[in-house]
């Protein structure tokens, strides 16, 4: 019970203490200024200022970010009055939560979700938009073997989004885009994404830049028209082929193969059918060439516009990379062929050409890529990365998909016991965008590149098996980066919605969008395949097919290049080369996706070559 004191001064103290020390907003969060949430700001900003002692690094689970409910604080009011504040919610490390007597649960705990919900429900019920979004994110992820509850997630995202919170707008848009918990509506998703991005201001361009953009755009439009014409011709050719085949079948059913006159007619139709099929093949090849030109001009247009956007003196910050390559695993896990070479090649290109500061963990190095060392390296990077900086994480090794969650297998991983598997849900939490504190990462842009089986699980674990995978047993299948002897036949993955589409709007508006893409936070994943095993075979220079294509794209690049640009350049080559080097019909295609529940706001990761 809080006493109402007569003194105006004392009354003011009580109100301020209740509004701040409780951890929850005393007023509607729409009216708050300075911070997005009183609920979140207090504890997490204090945590940022504290250094963790050496003992905190002994158990890597103590470094993980958790939803923590800290005990209330005893507050002295004057000489004789005392008051115990309500419990205080925070996203801080497990170690900080423990030493302060807080309550928390790891994602692997049986009651983890219920414990996490209790942390934020008080503030969320009071209308705090950040807490409401956290409630949605808790419902929207897996907790051990407990599957996401997207309907409840949508309810909380909507409450937060109605207050204009950009993270919730994006999270709700993600559910609309993929039909999770609510009916699929891609237009609603796109509207929410654009609302989260905010107003796009066109960039005034000089005449020379305008002319360059107009020239490329003209070529793009011509290529687009050529592609449409060839698609129409191909469709017509296939209709003719089907018609002639039906006529042949009809004649044969009527005994046309025995009557002399009808035999001649069948022969004539078969000759025409052969000619039509040759024509179809020719048009198909022309269409393939036209589509390649279309992609080339799309890339040229976005590169030209990107260069114009970055010409406006953008401060790109520092670039960091955590690069992991694991060849040697504990039996019965198969050893792999190329990850260490892949990792070393990626590090060499990033350091030399793009000026990255790197941490390299390989099993032939001084520091082994165990689960403990990987998370420790990530945490050390988190303490030095600023709000304007960029982080790339590259993982090459075994990957797994279990109970609707993805995992990276560290060097000390066991084939069956998941204690030393790295959950991609945990990694998502650690890299989640956070303006302050240790409950996430302050970096503006994060790109996670995974060359492992089930690599896209971080961004796509929400897919139902019937949508994405058909598992068949292979007694002696191809050598893959999966810990188990299954091969997943992946369906065609529909491209995600993107606020940046080549063409359509004015050049000034498109350049403005690209500038906005840099300024907004991004959390993106680029992978060598979808939710299926990927091959582990040497291609050129002892690298995997994906690592070779990825580093080649970075090496030949002479301008500013986005992660999406790289994806477009390597997608088809990786698909084609995998089929060349593999003895089986493996359909492995790279995936580019935004990572859900990580604070992505439709920004983009850009590679900027260092100045010599």
Task: Give the pair of three-digit tokens for residue 142.
Answer: 């897996």
pLDDT of residue 9: 33
Residue with token string 């075979």: 537
Query: Looking at the domain assignment, is residue 464 inside a domain?
Result: yes
pLDDT of residue 479: 55
> Do 100 and 249 belong to one domain?
no
pLDDT value at 477 more than 50: no
1 pLDDT band, cuts 50/70/90, is: very low
Q: What is the mean pLDDT of residues 15-35?
A: 39
Among 265, 294, 323, residue at a domain's last position: 294
Three-class DSSP category at 241: helix
Q: What is the DSSP letter of 455?
A: T
Task: Give the pair of three-digit tokens for residue 544.
Answer: 């995997």
pLDDT of residue 491: 39
Of residues 150 and 243, the one with the higher pLDDT is 150
Tell me the pLDDT tens digit for each residue of 348-397: 999 999 999 999 999 988 999 999 999 999 998 998 999 999 999 999 99
Using a 10 angstrom Cβ sphere, with 0-12 exposed, 13-18 middle and 19 or more buried, the burial of residue 286 is: middle
With a pLDDT cut of 90, the percent of the chain lying above it is 38
Q: What is the mean pLDDT of residues 10-24?
A: 39
Q: How far apart are CA 349 and CA 321, in angstroms?
A: 12
229 pLDDT band, cuts 50/70/90, is: very high
Instruction: Report the 10 Å Cβ neighbour count for 249.
Output: 12
Can you list the positions of beta strands (E) in 73-158?
74-77, 81-84, 88-93
Using a 10 angstrom Cβ sphere, with 0-12 exposed, 13-18 middle and 19 or more buried, the burial of residue 457 is: buried
Q: What is the DSSP letter of 63?
A: G
> Do 190 and 212 belong to one domain?
no
pLDDT of residue 476: 39
Of residues 238 and 28, the one with the higher pLDDT is 238
Tell me the pLDDT tens digit for each residue of 36-51: 555 654 444 454 545 6
Residues 6+ apart with CB under 8 A from 417: none
Q: Answer whether 435's CB lies under 8 Å from 393's CB.
A: no
Alpha helices in 128-206 (DSSP H): 129-139, 150-161, 166-178, 186-197
pLDDT of residue 77: 78
CA nearest 535: which of 586, 492, 572, 473?
A: 586
Q: What is the mean pLDDT of residues 14-24?
A: 40
Of residues 222 and 586, the one with the higher pLDDT is 222
pLDDT value at 168 more than 60: yes
- Count how many residues are written for the chain: 612
Work out the mean pLDDT of the chain and round it to a whole number: 81
Of residues 56 and 411, the one with the higher pLDDT is 411
Q: Answer whether 88's CB lies under 8 Å from 69's CB.
A: yes
Residue with token string 């305008």: 210
Degrees, nearest 5: CA angle 108-112-113: 120
Task: Give the pair of three-digit tokens for residue 350.
Answer: 């990033």
Tell me which of 280-284, 510-514, 520-524 is least confident.
Answer: 510-514
Query: Looking at the domain assignment, is residue 3 inside a domain?
Result: no
> Do 181 and 223 belong to one domain?
no
CA nearest 412: which of 366, 373, 355?
A: 373
pLDDT value at 485 more than 80: no
pLDDT value at 475 more than 50: no
Q: Answer whether 529's CB lies under 8 Å from 591's CB.
A: yes
Tell me the pLDDT tens digit for each residue of 454-469: 888 888 877 654 344 4
Tell me the pLDDT tens digit for each residue of 585-598: 677 899 999 999 89
Tell me which of 21-30, 116-125, 224-233, 399-408 is least confident.
Answer: 21-30
Q: What is the DSSP letter of 433?
A: B
Q: In what order do the strands lie in the sheet with 405-409?
A: 399-402, 405-409, 421-423
The verdict on pTM exceeding 0.85 is no
> Do 561 and 432 belong to one domain?
yes
Residues 6+ apart with CB under 8 A from 425: 107, 141, 142, 405, 406, 461
Query: Looking at the domain assignment, is residue 496 inside a domain?
Result: no
Query: Looking at the domain assignment, is residue 303 inside a domain?
Result: no
23 pLDDT band, cuts 50/70/90, is: very low
DSSP 538-550: --GGG--HHHHHH
Query: Looking at the domain assignment, is residue 193 inside a domain?
Result: yes
pLDDT of residue 469: 40
Q: What is the mean pLDDT of residues 251-255?
A: 75
Query: Looking at the domain assignment, is residue 226 inside a domain?
Result: yes
Tell me the pLDDT tens digit for each residue of 515-555: 888 889 999 999 999 888 888 888 888 999 999 999 999 99
Query: Looking at the domain assignment, is residue 452 inside a domain?
Result: yes
Bridge-based pairing of strands 561-562 and 486-490 is: unpaired
CA nearest 48: which of 334, 487, 442, 593?
A: 442
> Do 460 and 376 belong to one domain?
yes
Among 236, 261, 294, residue at a domain's last position: 294
145 pLDDT band, cuts 50/70/90, is: confident
Q: What is the mean pLDDT of residues 218-223?
A: 89
DSSP 190-218: HHHHHHHH-PPPP----HHHHHHHHHHHH
57 pLDDT band, cuts 50/70/90, is: confident
Instruction: Report the 10 Å Cβ neighbour count for 506.
Output: 12
Number of domains in the chain: 3
CATH number at residue 466: 3.40.50.1460
Task: Provide the domain limits for residue 250.
Answer: 207-294
Q: How far apart are CA 39 and CA 347, in angstroms?
A: 40
Among 176, 197, 218, residue at a domain's last position: 197
> Do 332 and 446 belong to one domain?
yes
Which helix (H) or strand (E) is 38 found in, with range?
A: helix 38-49
> Do 367 and 281 belong to one domain?
no
pLDDT value at 22 more than 60: no
> Do 166 and 229 belong to one domain?
no
pLDDT of residue 105: 83
Q: What is the mean pLDDT of residues 118-135?
A: 93
> Do 141 and 215 belong to one domain?
no
Query: Looking at the domain assignment, is residue 480 inside a domain?
Result: yes
> Do 584 and 465 belong to one domain?
yes
Residues 6+ apart with CB under 8 A from 136: 152, 153, 154, 155, 156, 157, 160, 168, 171
> Do 429 and 485 belong to one domain?
yes
> Do 454 and 592 belong to one domain?
yes
Instruction: Report the 10 Å Cβ neighbour count for 39.
Output: 29
Q: Answer whether 388's CB lies under 8 Å from 315's CB.
A: yes
Residue with token string 């999270």: 171
Tell me the pLDDT tens digit for each residue of 173-206: 999 999 999 999 999 999 999 899 888 888 888 8
């Amino acid at each position: 019970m809080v006493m109402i004191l007569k003194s105006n001064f004392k009354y003011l103290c009580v109100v301020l203490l209740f509004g701040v020390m409780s951890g929850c907003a005393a007023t509607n969060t729409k009216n708050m200024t300075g911070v997005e949430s009183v609920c979140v700001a207090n504890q997490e900003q204090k945590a940022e200022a504290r250094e963790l002692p050496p003992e905190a690094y002994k158990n890597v689970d103590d470094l993980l970010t958790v939803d923590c409910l800290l005990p209330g604080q005893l507050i002295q009011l004057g000489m004789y009055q005392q008051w115990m504040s309500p419990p205080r919610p925070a996203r801080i490390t497990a170690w900080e939560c423990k030493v302060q007597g807080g309550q928390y649960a790891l994602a692997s705990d049986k009651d983890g979700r219920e414990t996490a919900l209790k942390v934020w429900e008080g503030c969320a019920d009071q209308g705090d938009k950040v807490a409401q979004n956290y409630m949605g994110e808790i419902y929207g992820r897996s907790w051990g073997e407990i599957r996401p509850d997207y309907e409840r997630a949508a309810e909380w995202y909507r409450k937060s989004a109605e207050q204009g919170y950009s993270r919730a707008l994006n999270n709700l848009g993600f559910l609309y885009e993929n039909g999770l918990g609510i009916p699929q509506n891609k237009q609603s998703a796109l509207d929410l994404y654009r609302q989260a991005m905010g107003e796009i201001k066109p960039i005034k361009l000089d005449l020379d830049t305008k002319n360059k953009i107009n020239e490329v755009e003209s070529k793009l439009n011509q290529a687009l028209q050529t592609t449409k014409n060839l698609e129409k011709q191909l469709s017509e050719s296939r209709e003719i082929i089907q018609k002639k085949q039906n006529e042949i079948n009809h004649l044969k059913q009527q005994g046309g193969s025995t009557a002399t006159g009808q035999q001649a007619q069948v022969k004539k139709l078969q000759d025409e059918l052969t000619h039509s099929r040759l024509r179809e093949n020719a048009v198909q090849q022309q269409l393939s060439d036209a589509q390649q030109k279309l992609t080339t001009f799309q890339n040229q247009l976005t590169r030209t516009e990107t260069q114009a956007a970055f010409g406006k003196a953008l401060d790109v910050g520092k670039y960091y990379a955590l690069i992991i390559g694991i060849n040697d695993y504990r039996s019965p896990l198969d050893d792999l062929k190329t990850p260490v070479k892949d990792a070393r090649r990626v590090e060499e290109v990033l350091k030399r050409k793009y000026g990255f500061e790197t941490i390299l963990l390989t099993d032939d190095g001084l520091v082994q890529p165990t689960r403990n060392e990987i998370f420790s390296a990530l945490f050390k990077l988190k303490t030095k990365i600023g709000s304007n900086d960029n982080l790339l994480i590259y993982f090459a090794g075994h990957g797994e998909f279990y109970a609707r969650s993805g995992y990276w297998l560290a060097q000390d991983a066991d084939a069956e016991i998941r204690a030393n598997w790295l959950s991609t849900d945990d990694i998502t939490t650690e890299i989640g965008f956070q303006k302050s504190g240790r409950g996430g990462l302050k970096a503006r842009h994060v790109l996670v590149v995974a060359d492992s089986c089930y690599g896209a699980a971080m961004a796509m674990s929400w897919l139902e098996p019937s949508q994405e995978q058909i598992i068949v047993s292979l007694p002696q299948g191809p050598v893959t980066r999966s810990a188990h002897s299954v091969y997943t036949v992946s369906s065609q993955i529909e491209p995600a919605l993107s606020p940046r589409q080549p063409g359509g709007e004015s050049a000034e508006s498109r350049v403005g969008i690209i500038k906005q893409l840099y300024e907004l936070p991004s959390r993106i994943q680029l992978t060598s395949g979808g939710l299926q095993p990927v091959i582990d075979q040497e291609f050129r220079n002892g690298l995997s097919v994906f690592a070779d294509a990825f580093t080649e794209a970075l090496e030949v690049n002479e301008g500013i290049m986005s992660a999406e640009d790289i994806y477009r350049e390597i997608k088809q080559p990786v698909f084609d080369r995998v089929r060349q080097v593999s003895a089986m019909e493996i359909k492995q295609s790279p995936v580019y996706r935004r990572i859900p529940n990580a604070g992505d706001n439709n920004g983009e990761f850009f590679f900027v070559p260092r100045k010599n």
